[in-house]
Structures are given as structure tokens and as C-alpha cells.
Chain A
Amino acid sequence: MYFDERENEIDYTNYSNEVNSVEKNYTQNDYKKWDNDFKVDIENLNINNFNNRESVNDLYTAKEGLNKGNMFRNLFNPYKSYVYKVVVNGKKDELLLKIQELTFKVVDLNLYLDINPADKNMYNEFKKAVEELKANKDLYEKNYGPLCVTETLYYDDYMWSKNPWPWMSEGGKK
């Protein structure tokens, strides 16, 4: 109900009489119909909930992290418990997915380390992921062409433009 206090001309002396007359004339169910000023569906309202921060070091694996979009268990906050799994077919795409998973781990730990540079445990975890990423990228570069223009040392020809671009996936029909 909209109510402007500046135009407050309700006579409170009659207020209790009004309420009594309402109670006499309406049954319990009618009250519900009557009370429709506005509705906020609190149960389905999505609020970013802040879980405890004690277990910062509790990480998902790189694979699970990419599926969830989050490496940190304590920050994970799903919407309607939607969680999806990335599935790819073929050796090339599997290797690319592995690279994407490790890249994701590096990206997410990177953000954490930006503001917690003194966390040695996390830094070691970060270093391990970078090392594994490097090895996998090297393997990809050797077999399927460069992901970065400078990764070209295995080739005699210019390979950069020969790989499909990311939007030319199966869904993009190429």
C-alpha cells in the first residue's frame, strides 16, 4: 500500500473501530486475498551467500573447477544447483580441454594470489599448475599447431592461421 505521510489525514481515534468491523466481516481466508499489496518471493530470491572463509586452501581439482567455474570450495555458490560437465570427443579436443582446465586453475589462483601474495601453499599449487599447463601446451603445439602465435618452433611453415578459431567449433558448423 502506498502511503504519503505528508497527506496524513487518518483519524486514529476511529482506527480500532475500523479494525473491529473488518474482523467481523471477513473470515480468515478473506484476509489472505485482501493482503496483496506486494509479494516478495523470498525463498526463490537469489542472494550471494558468504560461506566461511576458514578452508581457503580447500580446492577443487582443475577439472571440477572448470565445470563449476570456481576453484575454491568455500566460495562456490550455484544457481538452482545447476552444475554442468564439459564433455568433448577426440584426442585433440581432450587435450585442449585439459589445457583449458589448467588455464582456468591458473587464472583463478592468480586472482587469489593477487591479494594474498604471502600464501606459500597456494603459490606452490599455482606453480604446479603452471608447470603442468606448460607441458600440455607443448604437447598440443607439437601435434595440432600453435595456440599462441609464438608457439611455432616445431614448424617450417606459418601455422597460426591454419588452426580453426574458437567460434568455428562443431556447433559453429565448421
Chain B
Amino acid sequence: MFKYEKMLEYPVNIKKKDLRMAKLMCDQLGGANGELSASLRYMCQRYTMPDEKGSSLLTDIANEELSHFEMIQVMISQLVKDASLEEMKEAGLDTYYVGHKRGVYPMNSNGVPYTAAYIEVSGNPMVDLMEDMAAEEKARATYENLMDMTKDQDLLAPLSFLRQREVVHFNRFKELYEEYKRKGM
């Protein structure tokens, strides 16, 4: 079971409204390489890991990704806070407003709703781990692209943190993959 802790993994405190960035950040919320994808992917793949190393690594990373999902939500909600209708229209968020007002809906930056088609559960640990490594790299690249799009330090700091986590996760998956390979899987 899961327990909620009333804090973020890394503090988020964005003071400057930026609707354009809020829209772009949606890619990491409900996009193909986003945090929701990551969390669900590992959570669903863990049942067919061959040993306790795989089961625990996938469970723990899935868990951490869910708290990243929360961080992205908080960032988006703070970025759109107090936005006027006029501002939302200008940023191209009028189409968003019609369905969700100032809520946080899991979709990508083009408004495509989140779908489980973004993830794969093959039942084969080697195939799944290879997908997980690719997913971490794609998420890392997306964070770099997001960091290129802003100069706001309040936003860059958590983005930089989240990006670095992808680096660590990638390396852990790679270590596990190599170990399984050595064992002849």
C-alpha cells in the first residue's frame, strides 16, 4: 500500500506566472515520456521481474516517479495561478480552459490526453528493462529541452533536479540489465 507524505521530494516555489511554460511542461505530466508514464510503466512491469532485485528496484523507482508526477503538477498549478482569461487566450490555453479551467489535467503539450498506449509491459524482464532505460533517456532529453525554454531560476532548479534523477534511474536500470545479462538471461 502507499502512504502519503505531506511534502514534495524537492521544494517547488514558483513566483512568476508563465502560461507558455505551463503548457510545455504538460509533456512531462501526461506525455509519452512523462512522469505518469514512467510511474505506471514500472509499477506494471514489476510483477514479472525474475528476482527480488528487479522487484524492489522497479517498485521503488515507480514510487519515486509518482512523487515527480506530483512535483510537475505543483509546478503547472503554480505557473497558471491567477492567470486572467485574456492571458490564457494569448498563451493558446483557451482551448484548455474550456475543458479544465485552471485544473491540472494529464495531457501532453499539444492537448493529447494521457493514454496507456505510451507504455509497454512485455512480461519479459530484459525487454522491459531495455524499454525502461530508453524511457529514462527520453525523459532526460525532454527535461533538457524544457530547460532551454526558460530563464526562470525557480523553474530551472526543480527541472534540473528532475533531469538528474533520470540520469540516476537510467544507470540503475542499466546495472540491473547488465547483471541479468551476465547471468545468461
Contacts and interface: CB of A to CB of B under 8 A. Distances in A.
Interface of A: 46, 48, 50, 66-70, 72, 75-80, 82-84, 86, 88, 96-97, 99-100, 103-104, 107-108, 110-112, 114-115, 117, 146-150, 163, 165-167, 169-173
A115 B176 contact: yes
A75 B174 CA distance: 12
A50 B15 CA distance: 36
Given A84-B156, A115-B175, A100 B6 contact: no
Interface of A is mostly: loop
B160 A111 contact: no
A69 B160 contact: yes
A169 B144 contact: no
B8 A70 contact: no
Interface in B1-28: 3-15
Contact of A69 (B153, B162, B172, B175): B162
15 contacts: A48-B140, A69-B161, A69-B162, A70-B165, A75-B171, A100-B9, A103-B5, A148-B4, A163-B6, A165-B6, A166-B74, A167-B77, A169-B12, A171-B13, A173-B81
Contacts, number: 135
Contacts of B169: 111
A87 to B, nearest CB: 9
B9 A107 contact: yes
B9 A103 contact: yes
B21 to A, nearest CB: 13
A77 to B, nearest CB: 5
Contact of A83 (B11, B64, B160, B176): B160
Given A86-B11, A146-B6, A110 B179 contact: no
A69 B11 CA distance: 12
B74 A112 contact: no
A75 B78 contact: no
Given A69-B160, A70-B164, A167 B73 contact: yes
Query: Which of A68, A77, A112, A149 gathers most chain B CB within 10 Å?
Result: A77
A107 B64 contact: yes
Contacts of A172: 74, 77-78, 81
B82 interface: yes
Interface in B78-106: 78, 81-82
A83 B8 CA distance: 19
Given A77-B167, A169-B12, A171-B15, A115 B160 contact: no
A97 B8 CA distance: 10
A69 B179 contact: no
A117 B170 CA distance: 19
Contacts of A147: 5-7
B172 A111 contact: yes
Contacts of B82: 173
B120 interface: no
